[in-house]
Chains A and B, each alone.
Chain A
Amino acid sequence: MTDTRYLAPQTLDEAVGAFAAAAGAARILAGGTDLLVQMRAGLLRPGLIIDIKKIEEMTAIVEEPDGGFRVGAAVSGAALAEHPRFGQVWPGVLEAVNLIGSTQVQGRASPGGNLCNASPAGDSVPAMIAAGAVVTVQGPNGRRQMPVEAVPAGPGRTNLTPGEILVSFALPARPKGSGDAYLRMIPRTEMDIAVVGVGVSLTIQGGTVTAARVGLGAVAPTVLLVADAADALIGSKLDDAALEAAAAACRAACRPIDDKRGTIVYRTKVAGVLLKRTVAIAAERAGRA
C-alpha cells in the first residue's frame, strides 16, 4: 500500500516547494473532479495530494483596472458564474466553464483543473484559447506566462515543467464591439464529454470583423487554435463565403479519432457546423457590446 498524504498550504511558495520536493509523486487538487475519479479507478495513487484552494490567489477573480480579468486556477465554475461582471464581459468563457459537468461538478471543477487535466475535450479550453487567455505558472524557478494553447502537450500531458503549478488565467481587456461564444456537440443535453467544442471570440467594427480567434476542441490530441479559421473571418462581414471558409478551415484542422464518443467523419463535419453557429452567437453579442 502506498501511503497518501494530504497537504493544504496557505501560500503558493509552500505549495510549489512541496510539489517540487515530491518529484512526481504529488498531484495538485483543485476541484478534484478529475483527480478523485482517477484515484478511484486505480489509475493514480499519489503519494501527496496538494490542495491549493486555501491559497488566496488560486481562488480569486479580479477585474483589472484596464478591464481585463485574472481568474485563479482553482476558481469553481459556480463561483465564476456568481461574479457580477465576468459573465458580461466573457459570456462565452463562462458558458464553457459552466458546461464542465453537472451542477454538482460546477460547485468544484475549475478552469485550471480542466486545462491541466489536458483532455482534448476539456470544455473551457477552446473558449479560453479563443479569448486569448494567458496563464501564469509558478515553479521552483519562479513565475512565467504562457498562452493557454501552449499548455496541453497531448492527452493527459501538459508542457508545465516538473514542480510547476498553474496559478491563474489572464483575459485581456475587451475592445468595444467584442463578443465570444462557446458551443459543443454532445449526444445528450448535459453530462457528456464534448464530441466537438468550438470557442470563438470576435471584435466587429462597422460591420467588419477586425479581430477573431477560434479554439477547437475534441478533434485532435490537444485543443487547437485555428488561425486559418480566424483569418477567414477577419476582414469579412461574416458573409456566407467567409463563414464557409472558416468552417472549412476548422474541418481541415481536425485530426480526430474514432471512439465511443464520435467518429472521424462525424467530428469533422460537426466542427464546421459548430463554427458557424458559434460565430453567429459571438457576432450577435459583439453587436450588443
Chain B
Amino acid sequence: MNVISNKWIGQRTIRPDGADKVTGRAAYGADTVMPGMIWARVLRSPHAHARILRIDTSKAEALPGVKAVMTAKDVVEFPLDKSVMLGIQDMRWMCRNVMAREKALFHGHPVAAVAATTEAIAAEACALIEVEYEVLPWVIEIEDAIKPDAPILHDFIKLDGKPSNIAGKLEHKLGDVDAGFAQADVVIEREFKTRPVHQGYIESHACLVSVSPDGKATIWSSSQGQFMVRAMSAYLTGIPQSDIRAIPAEIGGGFGGKTIIYLEPLALILARKSGRPVKMIMSREEVFRASGPTSGSMSKVKIGATKDGKIVAAQGTFYLQAGALPGSPIRGAAGCAFAPYDIPNVHSLGFDVVSNRSKVAAYRAPGAPIGAYAVECVVDEIAEALKMDPLELRLKNAAKQGTKAAHGPVYPRIGFVETIEAALAHPHYKAPLGKHQGRGVASGFWFNAGGESSAQVNVTEDGNVVVTTGHPDIGGSRASTANITAELLGIDYKRVSVLIGDTATIGYSNLTGGSRVTFASAMVVTQSTEKVITTLRERAAKIWKIDPEAVTWDDGEARPAGDNAGKFPALTLAEIAAKASETGGPIGAGVQLNTAGAEGGFATHVCDVEVDLDLGIVRVLRYTSFQDVGRAIHPSYVEGQMQGGAAQGIGWALSEEYIYDKKGRVDNASFLDYRMPVCSDLPMLDTVIIEVPNPKHPQGVRGVGEVPLVPPLAAVSNAVYNALGRRFYSLPMSPPRVLEVLEGA
C-alpha cells in the first residue's frame, strides 16, 4: 500500500463537477447546440416481427424542410456468418439493432430516420415513409420462445442442428453434483421467474453530430464510454476512428444502458448526407420501447446440504431473454449465482434466448441479480428446513481466501465473511418486528472488472494540477480521482482539477461499467502521479544540484534527504512549477494500462417489509446494506452506490416490469406505468461500508457499483415470506400477485 496518510482518501470532499450540476450549468447529452443544427427522428416498426419487403422514402424526401433520409442500406452491414466483436457487443447484431435490416424484430425497431429543420417536420416525414411489411408470427416470453413450434427469429441460429431461439449456452462445473446431492440430508429445488426491467436513467439517449466537408466527424453524446461511441460509430459508418472525435457529455444515468449506442450512427449518417449538424433525442417512450432493458428470466435452482448446514451440492439452470438479437448476460447469472459460497459440487448452466423484444443492454451487475434471486431464496429455504439462522447458514458456507469458485478463480483475500458478521452484529438484525412485518436477508457477488484506462496528470505553471481521465463520470468518479491525486501529491484537494477527456485528448479508456472505473482509474492516476512526483524530485535535485535519490516528496514539497537533510529549504509544488522551463520543461505524466487485479465484491443485505393483507401492498420499512468495498476513496459516493442499487433492487422486486399487450407491444412505456420507486416509497437506506483491502490495488479498491443490485431481489422476497409465511417464486411481487398467492393459501 502506497498510501500512508489519510488526508484526502476516505474524505467526503465536494465533487469537482458539483457546482455545475447544482446550478444547471452542466451540459448533458441534449444540452449542446450548433449553428445550422437540424433535428432527426426515427421511424419505428409497428410490428413485433415482420419482414421488410420495401421501403419508399420518396415522399419524405420531397417534404419541405427535410434534409436527409436514411435506412439500413446506409449502415455498414456485417454478414451473419462472421462474428465481429467490439467489447461484449457483436457488430453483426449491432448493425441490425440500430436499424432493422432484413426484418423488424420488435415493436419499435428502427426502420428509417429523417433529419429536417424541425423535429415536427422530421416526425411528419417519418409518417410519409412507406414500408411494406410481411407480418410474421412473433414470440415474447421465454417459455414460448423455447417451445419446439415457436416462431423462429433467426434461421441461422441453430441448436442441435435445428433452427432455434436458444442462441447461446454457458456452463460452469465444479466437482460432481450427483455425488454431492447423494451426501445431502436436505435438498430443495425451486423454479423462479423475473420480468425484464429497465435501467431507468432519467436522461434519455441524446446526441449531436457534426461532419465537416473533409469527412471529419464530431459527436457530442451521453454514454458510458466515448471510445465505445467512437468505435461503434466507426464500424457502423465505415469512417476511420481517427476521423471521429467523440466528446462525452455529462451523463444523466446509465446503469449499463448506455454501454451501447442507438442514435449516434444514425445521426452521423444523416449529418454526412445533409451537411448539417444533426441532433437526436429519444422520447421516454422510445427509451422504454427500444433501448435495452435487462433480461426477464426463468430459472431452476437445486441446493443440497447436510444436517449440520454444509452446502454440498448446487445446480442451477438460468434462461435469460436476450431480446431480438443474441447476447443476454448469462455469464452474470450462471457465474455469480453460487459465487458467494464454498460449495464443492456445482453445476451452473445459462441459456441465451431470443424473442421479439428490444435487445437487452447491460444493467448493473448484468445477470447477477437474476442468479442470486433464485439461489438466495433457496438458501433461505434450506436454512428454514435445517432450523438455522439464514445468516449463520451463509456464514458457515461463505467463500473465503482459497475457495475455488465454480466460475473459475480461487479467491484471494475477500471480505464476504465480514459482511455477514457485520449484519449479524447490527442492531437492525435484532430489532423487533410488528404484525404483518417480516425480515429477509440475502447476499450477492459481482466479478468486478479492470481493463484499459488512461490518465494524464499535468502540473500547471502556477503549481496546481489538472488530471484528465477517459471514462465518463456517472456517480462521482472525478471526486475519487481528485482525492487520490491530492493525497499522493500532498496538496489541497481544491488544487486538483479533474476532467474527462474526449477521444482526441486522452488515450483509450474502456467503458464506465462493471464497477471498473474507480479501480482502474485509480491505478493509472496513481502511476501518473507517481511519475510526476519523480519528476518533481528530479527538478528539485537539479535546482539544488544534488542527486534525485537524495530528494524526498513529503506533504506537498520536495525536501533534501540523507546527508543533505536540512541543507536547503524545501521546495513546494508551486516553486518547482515556476522553474519548470529552466529545469527541463513542462511537468506532467500519462499512463495507459490494461489494468488487472480487480477482485470480486460481496454484499449482504437485510430488509424489513410490511404487507397490507387486504390490498397486497408490500412496503419496505427498513433496509441495511453491508458491502466489502476494499477501500472507500470517497465514502459518500460509495454509500450512494449502495443506496441506489438497493432502491433499484426494491423496484425490481416489487413494482417494475415490462408489460406486453396482445400484439407484442410494450404496454407501459412511460414513467407513469413503469413503476420505479418514488421518494415516498422508500425508507432511509442504511449502509455499512466494510473495507477489506484488495491486495492487488494500490489503494485497496474493489469495485462498488454493481454488487448493490445483486442481493435485493431475494432479500425483499425472503422478507415477504417471513411476514406472510407464503413464498413467492416470481417477481415483481405486485399487489394483485400478492393477493393471488395469499388467497391461494
Contact = CB atoms under 8 A, between A and B. Distances in A.
A–B contact via C-beta, under 8 angstroms: yes
Contacts of B739: 266, 269
Interface band, chain B: 20 to 34
Contact of A190 (B614, B616, B678): B678
A269 B615 CA distance: 8
Nearest to A273: B614
Given A189-B681, A270-B615, A260 B735 contact: no
Given A260-B667, A260-B668, A266-B736, A189 B124 contact: no
B672 A185 contact: no
Contact of B615 (A42, A185, A261, A265): A185
A191 interface: yes
Nearest to A193: B672
Given A192-B675, A260-B673, A261-B673, A187 B668 contact: no
Contacts of A193: 672-673
A71 B290 CA distance: 44
A23 interface: no
Interface in A174-216: 185, 187-193, 195
B624 interface: no
A187 B120 contact: no
Contact of B735 (A187, A191, A259): A187
A95 B647 CA distance: 28
Contact of A191 (B121, B667, B668, B678): B678
B437 interface: no
Interface in B654-702: 654-655, 659, 667-668, 671-673, 675, 677-681
A188 B677 CA distance: 7
A188 B681 contact: yes
Interface band, chain A: 20 to 34
Contacts of A192: 672, 675
Nearest to A263: B736
A43 interface: no
A254 to B, nearest CB: 14
A266 B736 CA distance: 6
Contacts of B124: 1
Contacts of B506: none
Given A191-B678, A192-B672, A269-B739, A260 B615 contact: no
A269 B668 CA distance: 24
B96 to A, nearest CB: 27
B397 interface: no
Tell me which of A190, A193, A195, A261 has the highest count of chain B C-beta atoms within 10 A of its own C-beta: A261
A268 to B, nearest CB: 11
A4 to B, nearest CB: 11
Interface in B560-582: none
A9 to B, nearest CB: 27
A281 to B, nearest CB: 15
B170 interface: no
Given A192-B675, A260-B659, A260-B673, A266 B680 contact: no
B466 interface: no
A185 B615 CA distance: 8
A42 B667 CA distance: 17
A100 to B, nearest CB: 13
Nearest to A191: B678
B577 to A, nearest CB: 50
B84 interface: no
Contacts, number: 56
B680 A189 contact: yes
Interface string B378-420: 0000000000000000000000000000000000000000000
Tell me which of B615, B678, B680 has the highest count of chain A C-beta atoms within 10 A of its own C-beta: B615
Interface in B612-665: 614-617, 619, 654-655, 659
Given A190-B680, A260-B659, A263-B736, A1 B120 contact: yes
Interface in A248-264: 259-263
Nearest to B739: A266
A260 B732 CA distance: 13
Contacts of A42: 123
B274 interface: no
Contact of A188 (B668, B675, B740): B675
A188 B615 contact: no
Interface string B269-287: 0000000000000000100
Interface in B712-745: 734-736, 739-740
Interface string A15-46: 00000000000000000000000000110000
B464 to A, nearest CB: 42
Nearest to A189: B680
A195 B616 CA distance: 13
A262 B736 contact: yes
Contacts of B615: 185, 270, 273
Contact of B678 (A1, A189, A259, A263): A189
Contacts of B668: 260
Interface in B600-614: 614
A106 B680 CA distance: 16
Tell me which of A187, A263, A269 has the highest count of chain B C-beta atoms within 10 A of its own C-beta: A187
A273 B736 CA distance: 14
A117 to B, nearest CB: 14
Interface string B439-476: 00000000000000000000000000000000000000
Nearest to A259: B667
Contacts of B734: 187
B673 A188 contact: no
B357 to A, nearest CB: 16
Contacts of B673: 193, 260-261
Contacts of B671: 191
Contacts of B681: 188-190
Contacts of B617: 185, 187
A24 B91 CA distance: 51
Interface string A256-289: 0001111101100110010000000000000000
Contacts of A187: 617, 654-655, 675, 734-735
A85 B38 CA distance: 53
Contacts of A261: 673
Contacts of A262: 736
A187 B619 CA distance: 10
Contact of A266 (B120, B123, B672, B735): B735
A122 to B, nearest CB: 14
Nearest to A40: B283
Contacts of B654: 187
Tell me which of A41, A188, A270 has the highest count of chain B C-beta atoms within 10 A of its own C-beta: A188
Contacts of A260: 659, 667-668, 673
Nearest to B682: A189
Nearest to B285: A41
B348 to A, nearest CB: 34
Nearest to A195: B735
A133 B668 CA distance: 34
Contacts of B679: 190
Nearest to B671: A191
Interface string B503-544: 000000000000000000000000000000000000000000
Tell me which of A1, A260, A265, A273 has the highest count of chain B C-beta atoms within 10 A of its own C-beta: A260
A53 to B, nearest CB: 24
Contacts of A259: 667
22 contacts: A1-B121, A42-B123, A185-B615, A185-B617, A185-B735, A187-B617, A187-B654, A187-B675, A187-B735, A189-B619, A189-B678, A189-B680, A191-B672, A191-B678, A192-B672, A193-B672, A195-B735, A260-B667, A266-B739, A266-B740, A270-B614, A270-B615
Given A42-B123, A189-B681, A266-B740, 17 more contacts: A41-B285, A185-B615, A185-B617, A187-B655, A187-B675, A187-B734, A188-B677, A189-B680, A191-B678, A192-B672, A192-B675, A193-B673, A260-B667, A262-B736, A263-B736, A266-B739, A270-B615
Question: What 6 pairs between A and B have smallest CB-CB spacing?
Answer: A266-B736, A189-B680, A273-B614, A260-B659, A260-B667, A260-B668
